[in-house]
């Protein structure tokens, strides 16, 4: 918990989603938690949120898939909660529906979202 932390919780047809954030040094916003997964990431640019069963090889598979489409990873943050993991991947390049579809076909994938801020 941070001194100046804020949490947003949304209830949708897909379920509950929460994100917590704070501001460092008076001008640097940070996401510090997404659905119980601890994070430390600046919300900016193109982000892939990839939730998966926490098993060996998943990060490598994600990286290989992005490289196949010539998508550069600018930042990669991972949070773990129970037997699941959540990766927030900032990328330099646009991510097509084809890439998202291929990432979602990874056996351990539980959910994937692509967000552009």
pLDDT score recorded for residue 37: 97
Contacts of residue 32, Cβ cutoff 8 Å, sequence gap at least 6: 2, 5, 20, 21, 22, 38, 39, 40
pLDDT at 1 over 80: no
Span 72-94, pLDDT tens digits: 999 999 999 999 999 999 999 99
Q: For residue 13, what pLDDT is reported?
A: 92
At 38 the pLDDT is 96
Q: Is the pTM of this model over 0.85?
A: yes
Nearest to 110 by CA among 42, 37, 43: 37
- Section 9-26 average pLDDT: 92
Q: Residue holding tokens 């994600």?
A: 62
Q: Which CATH class is domain 6-116?
A: alpha beta
Can you give the residue ranges of every domain in the chain? 6-116
- d(C-alpha 96, C-alpha 74), whole Å: 17
Mean pLDDT score across all residues of the chain:
95
> Residue 10: its pLDDT value, please?
95
Provide the pLDDT for residue 4. 87
Q: How many CB atoms are located within 10 Å of the residue 91 CB?
A: 20
Beta strands per DSSP E along the chain? 6-12, 15-24, 28-34, 37-41, 46-53, 73-81, 84-91, 109-116
The pLDDT assigned to 67 comes to 98
Residue 25: is its pLDDT beyond 90?
no
pLDDT at position 68 over 80 = yes
């Amino acid at each position: 918990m941070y001194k100046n932390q804020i949490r947003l919780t949304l209830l949708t047809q897909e379920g509950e989603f929460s994100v917590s954030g704070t501001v460092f040094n008076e001008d640097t916003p940070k996401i510090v938690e997404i659905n119980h997964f601890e994070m430390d990431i600046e919300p900016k640019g193109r982000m892939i949120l990839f939730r998966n069963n926490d098993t060996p090889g998943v990060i490598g598979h994600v990286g290989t898939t992005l490289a196949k489409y010539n998508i550069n990873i600018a930042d990669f943050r991972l949070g773990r909660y129970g037997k699941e993991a959540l990766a927030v991947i900032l990328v330099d390049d646009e991510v097509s529906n084809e890439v998202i579809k291929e990432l979602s076909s990874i056996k351990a994938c539980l959910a994937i979202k692509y967000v552009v801020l």
